[in-house]
Amino acid sequence: MARIVMKFGGTSMAGTERIRRVAQIVRKQQAAGHEVAVVVSAMAGETDRLVNFCREANALYDPAEYDVVVASGEQVTSGLLALTLQSLGCKARSWLGWQVPVKTIEAHAKARVETIDSPELLESLARGEIAVIPGFQGVSAEGRITTMGRGGSDTSAVAVAAAIKADRCDIYTDVDGVYTTDPRIVAKAKKQKAVTYEEMLELASVGAKVLQTRSVGLAMKEGVRLQVLSSFLGDDAIPADELPGTMIVSDDEMNTLVENGEMERQLVTGIAHDKNEAKIILTRVPDKPGAVAHIFEPLADASINVDMIIQNVGRDKGETDVTFTVPQADLARAQALLEDRSEDIGFNRIITDSKIAKISVVGVGMKSHAGVASSMFRALSDRGINIQAISTSEIKVSVLIDEDETELAVRVLHTAYGLDGEDEAA
């Protein structure tokens, strides 16, 4: 017998028919003799709808009240799944964030889990009851509802799995694993049998939204066995215990898979895109010590994350242009802050552009092989795609391009790195 956390995302929970399908998958897992805790998302589209209500109610909304509103989507689906499980003859109950309790830091809308200490939950599981826990939500030390950032149910699931020492955390979604790139963009994307934590962390952080970045970091830190698999399966599907999805594994496990011939060692594991950033160019900034600090300090103070930065070659009169990217959602705030400081910084003009995309290639093979970046630049230039900025890490190369060229760039790179599969993905 194992203890398993099963997480179902928004599309899997979208409506009572789909929830019935989920309940059947859960029942099957319990019937295989396991203790089961289920973490659920709100129905697809529901969280967006709730966010819009908050914006309409008050453009400068209080994040604490925002959390009260947006957490409600998961309350509905957790209750509905418990009811559906009961209708199938299972013992099941919902455990809201404050009831578990999932204690988080106070940071509303971007809370992090601090502790989940719930002997009652463990006792309930031991009695054979299925625990249904709404993802995304927790409770602060002050007793107020918090939420964990968009896509946060993945992190809730991993946090619950770590807390109850689950043998596995299965993330059920609308694709049957982690692919070489988003299968909705490249039909020839290939499903990966396994991906290392490090690669998955990097892929998630550059836009592969199949797992929330923080969930992967937490799983890596806590040693949670994480698997991505599809909830859109027929009754004859291979059971989750036989690992039909993508397993997130340690480097050692990956080496063993390669040695046993179960995986090929790849230079590039995946390609991701992100359309949620915006570019800012400050022209004619003084080319002297301290100038860049003047630009980025106010942004850091306002918790605005700057991603790519390029400082262009200095001009004649000791001036330079500085280009960088920020999340699109923070663009207006960043622009206002910089305009406020225009005298201190001393720039001439501020130019912004939201129609950009970041394309990234990720793979641990880059640590030991040169040439990944140059192949990327060549492949893009052969198709006339202009690169506006570049950034690299040990296992990643990212470029900034025109948003309209996103799909083309992803396809071109997928082919260039030899990732195209024989069969088209579903």
Residues that bind ligand ASP (CB under 6 A): 9-10, 41-42, 47, 73, 135-136, 150-154
Buried b or exposed e, range 251-275, using 16+ CB within 10 angstroms: eebbeebeeeeebeebbbbbbbbbe
Q: How far is the CB of 42 from ligand ASP (least distance, A)?
A: 4
Q: How far is the CB of 316 from ligand ADP (least distance, A)?
A: 45
Q: How many residues in total does the chain contain?
A: 426
Dump the DSSP string for 187-210. Answer: TT--B-SEEEHHHHHHHHHTT-TT
- With CB under 5 A as the contact rule, the residue among 73, 97, 134, 151 that binds Mg ion is 151
The residue nearest Mg ion at its CB is 151
Q: How far is the CB of 14 from ligand ASP (least distance, A)?
A: 11
Decide which of Mg ion, ligand ASP, ligand ADP, none touches 150; Cβ closer than 5 to 8 Å per partner kind.
ligand ASP
Dump the DSSP string for 332-376. Answer: HHHHHHHHHTHHHHT-S-EEEE--EEEEEEE-GGGGT---HHHHH
Q: How far is the CB of 81 from ligand ASP (least distance, A)?
A: 14
Closest CB to ligand ADP among 174 and 241? 174
Decide which of ligand ASP, ligand ADP, Mg ion, none touches 136; Cβ closer than 5 to 8 Å per partner kind.
ligand ASP
Closest CB to ligand ASP among 30 and 205? 205
CA pair distance 95, 101, nearest whole angstrom: 8
Decide which of ligand ASP, Mg ion, ligand ADP, none touches 361; Cβ closer than 5 to 8 Å per partner kind.
none
Q: Which two tokens stand for residue 343?
A: 């005298």
Decide which of ligand ASP, ligand ADP, Mg ion, none touches 73; Cβ closer than 5 to 8 Å per partner kind.
ligand ASP
Q: How far is the CB of 278 from ligand ADP (least distance, A)?
A: 21
Please state the φ and ψ torsions of residue 414, each to the nearest 5 degrees. -60, -40
Q: Is 413 exposed, middle or buried (0-12, 13-18, 19+ CB in 10 A)?
A: buried
- CA nearest 342: which of 278, 295, 297, 299? 295
- CA nearest 148: which of 259, 49, 71, 234? 71
**What does each C-alpha distance from 248 to 26, 109, 200, 205, 390 come to in angstroms?**
21, 27, 7, 15, 28
Kindly indicate which of the ranges 1-9, 45-53, 232-240, 329-337 contains the residues binding Mg ion, using the contact rule CB under 5 A. 1-9
Decide which of ligand ADP, ligand ASP, Mg ion, none touches 135; Cβ closer than 5 to 8 Å per partner kind.
ligand ASP
* Neighbour tally for 59: CB within 10 Å: 7
Decide which of ligand ADP, ligand ASP, Mg ion, none touches 178; Cβ closer than 5 to 8 Å per partner kind.
ligand ADP
Decide which of ligand ADP, ligand ASP, Mg ion, none touches 175; Cβ closer than 5 to 8 Å per partner kind.
ligand ADP
Residues in contact with Mg ion, total (CB under 5 A)? 2
Taking CB atoms within 8 Å and a gap of at least 24, the contacts of 313-320 are 314/287, 315/284, 315/287, 318/286, 318/287, 318/288, 319/284, 319/285, 319/286, 319/287, 319/348, 320/284, 320/285, 320/286, 320/287
CA torsion sign for 95, 218, 271, 424 is: negative
Decide which of ligand ADP, ligand ASP, Mg ion, none touches 363; Cβ closer than 5 to 8 Å per partner kind.
none
Closest CB to ligand ADP among 210 and 285? 210
Q: How far is the CB of 151 from Mg ion (least distance, A)?
A: 4
Decide which of ligand ADP, ligand ASP, Mg ion, none touches 47; Cβ closer than 5 to 8 Å per partner kind.
ligand ASP
CA pair distance 266, 302, nearest whole angstrom: 40
* Neighbour tally for 390: CB within 10 Å: 14
Decide which of ligand ADP, Mg ion, ligand ASP, none touches 138; Cβ closer than 5 to 8 Å per partner kind.
none
Q: How far is the CB of 216 from Mg ion (least distance, A)?
A: 12
The residue nearest ligand ADP at its CB is 9
Q: How far is the CB of 33 from ligand ADP (least distance, A)?
A: 26
Closest CB to ligand ASP among 104 and 266? 104
Closest CB to ligand ADP among 139 and 200? 200
- For residue 254, the cross-strand partners are none
Kindly indicate which of the ranges 4-12, 81-89, 161-169, 343-351 contains the residues binding Mg ion, using the contact rule CB under 5 A. 4-12
User: Number of H helices and number of E strands within the chain?
Assistant: 14, 20
AA letter at 208? A
Q: Is 351 exposed, middle or buried (0-12, 13-18, 19+ CB in 10 A)?
A: exposed
Closest CB to ligand ADP among 169 and 208? 208
Q: How far is the CB of 313 from ligand ADP (least distance, A)?
A: 36
Closest CB to ligand ADP among 161 and 292? 161
Residues that bind Mg ion in the complex, under the rule CB under 5 A: 9, 151
